Amino acid sequence: MIKLKHRNIPLTVRVLVFVAVAIVISLSVSSVLITNSVRHHFAEQDASALTRVANTIAQDLRDLSIRADTPQFSAPTFSQAGVLVHVETDEDVVIYHSGTADFMPVNIAATVNTSISESSMSVWRENESTYRGARLFVATEQGDFYITVAMNMNFHLQFLADFRRSLLWILAGTGIATLLAAWFGIYQGHLPLRKLVNKMQQVKTSQLHLRLNPDDVPNELRELVQSFNEMVERLEDGFDRLSYFSSDIAHELRTPLSNLITQTQVTLTQYRSETAYREALYSSLEELERMAKMIGDMLWLAKSDNQQIKLELETVDLSHEISELIDFFSAVSQDENVDIQLTGKPVFVQADRSLLKRAISNLLSNAIRYTGEHKTVTISMNEDIEQDRIIINVSNPGAAINKDHLPRLFDRFYRAEPARDRHKDGAGLGLAIVRSIMLCHGGNITVHSASDMTTFTIELPRQPLT
């Protein structure tokens, strides 16, 4: 099946087409109504005139003495300009006839009435003339009579033809004037939009701080301006993050590379023993493994941003998995003189086991790292039955994080300054990975830090959307 290419029709053209169609329909209906009104008016006039003539004839017939054998009739007194009269008895004897028109068509086609109205009149054409008339029945003491009255319609028809022609020109001129007025109105109506476009064009990558004022545009465009400002704000935030990301990644990669280069140069300055070379290689290997882990984390985050992470959902016993993680970190916690405590009843959730363990592992590692000696890291599990969600809290005592750092704590390569002073081995990607894992599961992670206690809260749906 061949698909036709859709061409974007300009908004002005679309509106003008709709306006033109509306004008044509409205003016056409108006023309028909006006013409029918004039035609109806002429018909009523003709009916009134014919009624007066017919009533005069009927009255004269009632006052006239006619011999039954030889009826005679003349009516010069009721003649009216343009009105034709035909009178005959019930025995088809014509007693009066005016004009040259043949009344036979109306006499045959017309219904015999006692009064004349628009619906009772007949129309016929004869010798390039059009007539309209009616046939009446009159009963008198002298006998029954049939009166046929008619009028020549040529004047009316000519007037209607001229009237239609004039009306057509008037309506055409009115339609064109209305269409031009509509175009001018649309052009003026689009003026704020054109100004808005000019202001939008001023926003560039180097001027993402610019915002449009919603009060400077009509109400219909305020929502557009607000949406544009929100979009620019997101772009500015994205560019800032990208700028920080580029700067941070350059910093994070420069340090291990500088260490490798310096160590290699020092090692090569003079001949050394096999043990010294081995120690240099082990030191280089540690830096390379650190770089490899950081690059792997960056690639995982990139895949997460592009929604390329496919979850392998299964029923996970959180109590069991967290207990295994506690056992895994027991050696590290003992070295740091930190205890780990798990509280809460066993809960189950549908999740990707490996990703969920990775997220909790990052939080647990982070908590152990920043907990003072002889303190306890607490992991608690709860259920929000109303929301059908699982809540996991990882709390560690220690210096509170400045509230200025909290909004950016989950950004890549971002680390609060106190953390940088004490621990320089992390790359600042752990919390960013945790947030991405939660978002993949349809969950969320928040942090609260005050009164020498920092708590990371994970909220997971019991059944994530896939």
Please report the DSSP string for 167-214 in residue order.
Answer: HHHHHHHHHHHHHHHHHHHHHHHTHHHHHHHHHHHT--GGGTT----G
Residue 6 lies in a domain: no
Helix, strand, coil % over all residues of the chain, rounded to 5? 55, 20, 25
Judge whether residue 423 has pLDDT over 60.
no
One domain for residues 272 and 393: no
Give the mean pLDDT of 384-395.
86
Residue 199 lies in a domain: no
One domain for residues 237 and 122: no
Identify the domain containing residue 405 by its residue range: 309-461
| CATH value at residue 300 | 1.10.287
Judge whether residue 78 has pLDDT over 70.
no
Provide the pLDDT for residue 201: 83
pLDDT digit string, tens, across residues 124-142: 888 888 888 888 888 887 7
One domain for residues 354 and 319: yes
One domain for residues 291 and 319: no
- Is the alpha carbon torsion for 203, 207, 213, 216 positive or negative? negative
Provide the pLDDT for residue 379: 92
Q: Do residues 221 and 192 make contact, with C-beta atoms less than 8 angstroms apart?
A: yes
One domain for residues 398 and 320: yes
Provide the pLDDT for residue 377: 92
Give the mean pLDDT of 331-358.
88
Helix (H, G, I), strand (E, B) or coil at 6: coil
| CATH value at residue 88 | 3.30.450
- Domain boundary (148, 164, 180) is at 164
Residue 200 lies in a domain: no
How far apart are alpha carbons 410 and 351 in whole angstroms?
A: 21
Reading the block at residue 232, the tokens are 């620019």
One domain for residues 345 and 401: yes
Confidence bin at 108 (pLDDT 50/70/90): low
Find the range with the poorest average confidence among 39-43, 357-361, 402-406, 447-451.
402-406
- Domain boundary (238, 269, 304) is at 304
One domain for residues 408 and 444: yes
Provide the pLDDT for residue 90: 79
Average pLDDT taken over every residue of the chain: 80
Residue 39 lies in a domain: yes
Q: For the chain, how many structural domains are there in total?
A: 3
Residue of 405, 445, 453, 409 lying closest to 428 (CA atoms) = 409
- Top pLDDT among 20 and 75 is at 20
Provide the pLDDT for residue 422: 41
Residue 179 lies in a domain: no
One domain for residues 31 and 154: yes
Residue 44 lies in a domain: yes
Alpha carbon distances (Å) from 101 to 46, 150, 216: 17, 9, 77
Give the mean pLDDT of 80-100.
77
pTM, 2 dp? 0.51
One domain for residues 283 and 320: no
Confidence bin at 248 (pLDDT 50/70/90): low
Confidence bin at 218 (pLDDT 50/70/90): confident
One domain for residues 240 and 363: no
| CATH value at residue 327 | 3.30.565.10
Alpha carbon distances (Å) from 152 to 79, 88, 261: 14, 21, 117
Residue 185 lies in a domain: no
Percent of the chain whose pLDDT exceeds 90: 6
Q: Do residues 122 and 134 make contact, with C-beta atoms less than 8 angstroms apart?
A: yes
One domain for residues 375 and 430: yes
One domain for residues 326 and 275: no
Residue 142 lies in a domain: yes
- Domain boundary (283, 304, 325) is at 304
Give the mean pLDDT of 211-215.
82
